[in-house]
Amino acid sequence: MRFIKKQLSLWGLVLIIAVAAIAIPNAAGVRVATKAQSDEEEYWSRRIERRLDRRQEYLDRQTGDDKDDADAKDKDDEDDAEDITERDIERRREYWRKRLDDEW
């Protein structure tokens, strides 16, 4: 009988420790990152950067053709358009970085 009581108390102790090991990080909002999660985060970061770079190259090609046209806008207007485009790209880049950080 004493042996059964010792085993039951040991089982209860192990159960309490296991529940505490799971509940404490969850309550604190701490998330344990595994290697797979960090690899996936790195993958998405690189993918977003590649997409934004491709978009920038596309926009550069589109605006590059206008320089030879006779109906091209003034140089000041082109600079403003490039600033707007660069701001938009940087805004999108920051949005995706923030979203990626929030999800991880």
Q: Spell out the per-residue pLDDT of the chain, length 104, in tens.
A: 566 666 667 778 888 888 888 888 777 776 666 777 778 888 988 999 999 999 888 888 887 755 555 555 555 555 566 667 788 888 888 888 888 887 66
Which domain does 17 fall in, by range?
1-32
Same domain for 40 and 28? Answer: no
Same domain for 26 and 45? Answer: no
The half-sphere exposure of 66 on its side-chain side, counting CA atoms within 13 A, is 15
Residue 28: its pLDDT value, please?
73
Quote the number of domains for the chain. 2
Same domain for 58 and 26? Answer: no
Distance (Å, rounded) from C-alpha 25 to C-alpha 28? 5
Residue 101: its pLDDT value, please?
80
Same domain for 49 and 99? Answer: yes
Same domain for 18 and 38? Answer: no
Q: How many residues does the chain have?
A: 104
Same domain for 8 and 44? Answer: no
Same domain for 19 and 53? Answer: no
Both tokens of residue 73? 């806008």
pTM: 0.33
**Burial class of residue 78, CB neighbours in 10 A (0-12, 13-18, 19+):** middle
